[in-house]
Amino acid sequence: MTPGEYLRRRRLSEHLTVEDVAGRIHSWPRLGLDERANWIRQIEADVVPATFGTIAAIGHIVPIDAQALAALDAIRLGIGERVPQLCAHCAITPWQVIPSHALWSRPDLCPVCEKHGPPPGTEVTW
């Protein structure tokens, strides 16, 4: 999973559109909603990397695991090899929102996605 795909799956797991996130992020220089939405789409497609400020802004809207995102970025840059444990659908880590008593039956499937199905747009074919 790439850093952009991670951010996309985390956004979709919160049932937010790109426009929802773009509407809550402020930019400098000031960009219109369409420009901010396009910028987020480029980040999620890994066309442009997200800056620390962008990640922090998105993190106020969408729960992200900074360590998992940093590990994915290190892999993208060719300087890391430790793949974080992520749900293949919603990209959540075991250390995030899910209570510690909720056990994962598979390393790539969180209990929420296993019980309720993946969030729309995050389906993975095994």
Structural domains for the chain: 3-84 (1.10.260)
Q: What is the pTM of this model?
A: 0.86
> What's the confidence (pLDDT) of residue 10?
95
CA atoms of 119 and 123, how far apart (whole Å)? 7
pLDDT given for residue 43 in this prediction: 97
Write down the pLDDT at residue 67.
93
Q: What is the pLDDT of residue 125?
A: 52
- The pLDDT assigned to 98 comes to 57
What is the per-residue pLDDT for 44? 97
Please list the rounded mean pLDDT of every run of 10 residues in the chain (126 residues): 95 95 86 92 96 93 94 92 89 74 80 85 64
**pLDDT given at position 106:** 87
At residue 96, the pLDDT reads: 75
Give yes or no for a contact between 23 and 40, defined as CB atoms under 8 angstroms apart: no
